[in-house]
Amino acid sequence: MLTFVGKGSSQTCDGIHRRDFLQAGTLGAIGLGLPQYLAAVEAGKVDPSKSKRSAIMIFNLGAPSQLDTFDMKPDAPSEIRGPFQPIPTNASGVQISEILPLHAKIADKFSIVRSCFHRGAAVHDAGWQIMQTGRQFAGGVNTPHVGSVASYMLGRRSDLPPHVVLPETMGRGGGNLPNGQAGGFLGKAQDPFALMADPSKKDFKVPDLLPPDSIGTARIDRRRRMRDVVDSTVKNFEASESAKMMDDNFQSAYRLMTSPEARNAFDLSQEPESVRERYGMHRFGQCCLLARRLVEAGVRFVTINTFLTVFDEISWDIHGSKPFTSIEGMKNVVAPMYDQGYSALIEDLQQRGMLDDTMVCNLAEFGRTPKVNPAGGRDHWPQCFSVYFAGGGVQGGRIVGASDPIGAVPVDRPTEPPEVVATIFHSLGLNLESHLPGPAGRPFPLVDFGYREIKELF
The span from the CA of 151 to the CA of 165, in Å, is 13
Q: Quick one: pLDDT band at residue 36, thresholds 50, 70, 90?
A: low
Q: Does the pLDDT value for residue 28 go beyond 50?
A: no
Nearest residue to 324 (alpha-carbon basis) of 307, 305, 340, 339: 307
The span from the CA of 444 to the CA of 92, in Å, is 42
Neighbours of 346 (CB within 10 A): 24
Q: Write the single-letter amino acid at 86.
A: P
Percentage of residues in the chain with pLDDT exceeding 70?
A: 81
Dihedral angle, C-alpha 25, 31, 37, 43, nearest 10 °: 70
Q: What is the mean pLDDT of residues 240-264?
A: 65
Q: Quick one: pLDDT band at residue 131, thresholds 50, 70, 90?
A: very high
- Taking the alpha carbons of 33, 36, 40, 43 in that order, is the dihedral positive or negative? positive
Q: What is the CA radius of gyration of the chain?
A: 22
Phi, psi of 380 (to 5 degrees): -70, 145
- Predicted confidence (pLDDT) per residue in 3-27, tens digit: 333 334 444 333 333 333 334 333 3
CATH 3.40.50.150 fits 47-211+272-457, yes or no: no
What's the pLDDT score for residue 8?
Answer: 41
What's the pLDDT score for residue 38?
Answer: 74
Yes or no: say if 364 and 64 are a contact pair by the CB < 8 Å rule.
yes
- Predicted confidence (pLDDT) per residue in 187-226, tens digit: 999 999 999 999 999 989 886 555 545 455 555 555 555 5
The span from the CA of 70 to the CA of 429, in Å, is 28
Which residues, listed in sequence order, are joined to residue 54 by a DSSP beta bridge? 358
Q: Does the pLDDT value for residue 322 go beyond 90?
A: no
The span from the CA of 416 to the CA of 43, in Å, is 28
Yes or no: say if 249 and 242 are a contact pair by the CB < 8 Å rule.
no
Range list for CATH 3.40.720.10 in the chain: 47-211+272-457
The three-state DSSP-derived secondary structure of the chain is CCCCCCCCCCECCCCCEHHHHHHHHHCCCCCCCCHHHHHHHHCCCECHHHCCCEEEEEECCCCCCHHHCCCCCCCCCHHHHCCCCEEECCCCCCEEECCCHHHHHCHHHEEEEEEECCCCCCCHHHHHHHHHHCCCCECCECCCCHHHHHHHHHCCCCCCCCEEEECCCCCCCCCCCCCCCCCHHHCHHHCCEECCCCCCCCCCCCCCCCCCCCCCHHHHHHHHHCHHHHHHCCHHHHCCHHHHHHHHHHHHHHHHHCCHHHHHHCCHHHCCHHHHHHHCCCHHHHHHHHHHHHHHCCCCEEEEECCCCCCCCCCCCCCCCCCCCCHHHHHHHHHHHHHHHHHHHHHHHHHCCCHHHEEEEEECCCEECCCCCCCCCCCEECCCEEEEEECCCCCCCCEECEECCCCCCEEECCECHHHHHHHHHHHHCECCCCEEECHHHCEEECCCCCCCCCHHHC
Q: Does the pLDDT value for residue 249 go beyond 50?
A: yes
Q: Does the pLDDT value for residue 32 go beyond 50?
A: no
- Predicted confidence (pLDDT) per residue in 405-415, tens digit: 999 999 999 99
Q: Does the pLDDT value for residue 129 go beyond 60?
A: yes
